[in-house]
Amino acid sequence: MPKPSHPFAVSKKPEGQPTRGKTARNRLRPVDNLMLLYDPGLLTRRDGRFDNALFVDIGYGAEAFTTLESAERFRRLNPDLGILGVEIEPERVARALPFVDAHTFFRLGGFNLPLEPGEAVRAIRAFNVLRQYEEADVAPAWERMSRYVLPGGLLVEGTSNPTGAILATNMLRRTETGWLREALVFYTNFHLGFDPVEFQTILPKNYIHRIVPGEPIFDFFEAWKAAVAESAAMRTFGLRQWFTASAESLARRGYKLRLLKKWLNRGYLVWDNPA
Ligand SMILES: C[S@@+](CC[C@H](N)C(=O)[O-])C[C@H]1O[C@@H](n2cnc3c(N)ncnc32)[C@H](O)[C@@H]1O
C-alpha cells in the first residue's frame, strides 16, 4: 500500500470524539504568555531530540486562529519552531490547510497524535478540549498524550471562558515515567472583576466536579475566598493589588504559590504541587 501522504498521514483511528469547535481570536493569548513566562527555555531548547521537536495544539477548533497566533508569538523566540495543529474533525483540518508552511502543519488526529516518523514533541496544549468529555476520560487522555512528549516537556491542559478573560490550567511535566502535576494556574485579566468563585466555573475537568467538602480543591477555594475577604481593604488600590494581597494571604495559609510580581501583576496565580 502506498504511504498515506501528509497532512492526512493517519494510520490509526483518531482517539477521542469531535466536540463543539467554538474558539475566538486571541482567546488563548494568556496561555501563550503563560508558556513564555513559565518555561521559555522549553520553546527554544535544541539539545538531543528537542532539536526540531514540535509544539502541538490539539483541538484547535473551527478555525485555526489560536494555533496561528501561538506560532507568531513563539517564533519571536524561536523562528524555526515547528507547530502542529491537530483536529479530530476533518472539515476543521481542511479549513486550516491553507495556512500550512515549512514549519506549520495541520493534521487529522486525536489523543494518539498523528506524528510522522522521526517527529518529537516538546509541548502539547489541549485547551477547552477535555471540558466536553467525562471526568473518567481525563486520565486516559493524559496518559495517551504522555507517550509523545519528550521528558522535560509539558502538557498545558485547561479551560477558559469564551473570550479568554479567565482561565485555569493544569501544567503537567513529562518525567521519565509519566506526568508530574507540576502546577495549577489561574489567570484573570480583571475584566470580570475579581472573585475566586468565577474560576470554579471554568476549572479543568479533573477538578470541576470536585468543589465539594472533603476535596482538596474545595479547601483551596475556601481558603482563597477567606484570603480575599481578609485582604478586602486592598480593593481601594485596584483589583491587581487585591489579587496580589489575597495570594500573599493564601500562601500564609500553607499553599505553595509563586508570589513574584512577574506572575501576580500580570494576573497569574501559580499553585505549585497542587492537590
Ligand atoms: C471548544 S474547541 C477549542 C478550540 C480552541 N482550543 C480554543 O480553546 O479556543 C474544542 C475542539 O477540540 C476538538 N477535539 C475534541 N477532542 C479531540 C481529540 N481527541 N483530538 C483532537 N481534537 C479534538 C473538537 O473537535 C473541537 O474542535
- Out of 20, 68, 88, mutate this one to test ligand 1's pocket (max ligand atoms within 8 Å of CB): namely 88
C-alpha cell at 72: 507568531
The pLDDT, as a whole number, for residue 121 is: 98
Indicate whether 35 belongs to any domain.
yes
For ligand 1, atom 25: residue with the closest CA: 18
- What is the per-residue DSSP string for 103-144? TEEEEE--SS--PPTT--EEEEEEESSGGGS-GGGHHHHHHH
Measuring from each residue's beta carbon to the nearest atom of ligand 1, which residues come in under 6 Å?
14-23, 27-28, 58-61, 66, 86-89, 92, 110-111, 127-129
* Domain that includes residue 51, residue range: 29-188
User: How many angstroms is it from 110 CA to the middle of ligand 1?
Assistant: 9
- Out of 19, 115, 124, 160, mutate this one to test ligand 1's pocket (max ligand atoms within 8 Å of CB): namely 19
- What is the per-residue DSSP string for the chain? -PPPPTTS---SPPPS--------TTTTHHHHHHHHHH-HHHHH--SGGGGGPEEEEE---SS-HHHHHHHHHHTTT-TT--EEEEESSHHHHHHHGGG-BTTEEEEE--SS--PPTT--EEEEEEESSGGGS-GGGHHHHHHHHHTTEEEEEEEEEEEE-TTSSEEEEEEEEE-SSSEEEEEEEEEE-STT---HHHHHTT--HHHHTT-STTSHHHHHHHHHHHHHHHTGGGGGG-HHHHHHHHHHHHHHTT--B---HHHHTTTEEEEES--
Indicate whether 226 belongs to any domain.
no
Question: Which of 207, 230, 234, 226 is CA-nearest to residue 218?
Answer: 207
Indicate whether 239 belongs to any domain.
no
User: How many angstroms is it from 53 CA to the middle of ligand 1?
Assistant: 22
| Total number of domains in the chain | 1
Please give the number of the atom of ligand 1 that sits closest to the Cα of 16.
19
Indicate whether 219 belongs to any domain.
no
Distance CA 70, CA 195 (A): 28
For ligand 1, atom 22: residue with the closest CA: 59
Distance CA 238, CA 243 (A): 9
Please give the number of the atom of ligand 1 that sits closest to the Cα of 141.
19
Bond preceding residue 162 cis, omega within 30 of 0: no
Contact (Cβ atoms closer than 8 angstroms) between residue 113 and residue 58: yes
Indicate whether 256 belongs to any domain.
no
User: Which residues on adjacent β-strands are paired with residue 84?
Assistant: 56, 105
Q: Model-level pTM?
A: 0.95
Indicate whether 118 belongs to any domain.
yes
User: How many angstroms is it from 42 CA to the middle of ligand 1?
Assistant: 24
User: How many angstroms is it from 152 CA to the middle of ligand 1?
Assistant: 25
CA 204 centroid distance within chain: 10
The pLDDT, as a whole number, for residue 2 is: 42
275 residues of the chain, pLDDT tens digit each: 344 444 444 458 999 998 899 999 999 999 999 999 999 999 999 999 999 999 999 999 999 999 999 999 999 999 999 999 999 999 999 999 999 999 999 999 999 999 999 999 999 999 999 999 999 999 999 999 999 999 999 999 999 999 999 999 999 999 999 999 999 999 999 999 999 999 999 999 999 999 999 999 999 999 999 999 999 999 999 999 999 999 999 999 999 999 999 999 999 999 999 98
C-alpha cell at 189: 485579566
Indicate whether 88 belongs to any domain.
yes
Distance CA 163, CA 149 (A): 29
Between CA 259 and CA 267, with CA 261 as vertex, the angle to 5 degrees is 90
Indicate whether 53 belongs to any domain.
yes
The pLDDT, as a whole number, for residue 7 is: 42
Distance CA 179, CA 146 (A): 7
User: How many angstroms is it from 26 CA to the middle of ligand 1?
Assistant: 16
The pLDDT, as a whole number, for residue 9 is: 46
For ligand 1, atom 6: residue with the closest CA: 60
The pLDDT, as a whole number, for residue 275 is: 87
CATH code for position 62: 3.40.50.150
User: How many angstroms is it from 147 CA to the middle of ligand 1?
Assistant: 19
User: How many angstroms is it from 52 CA to the middle of ligand 1?
Assistant: 25
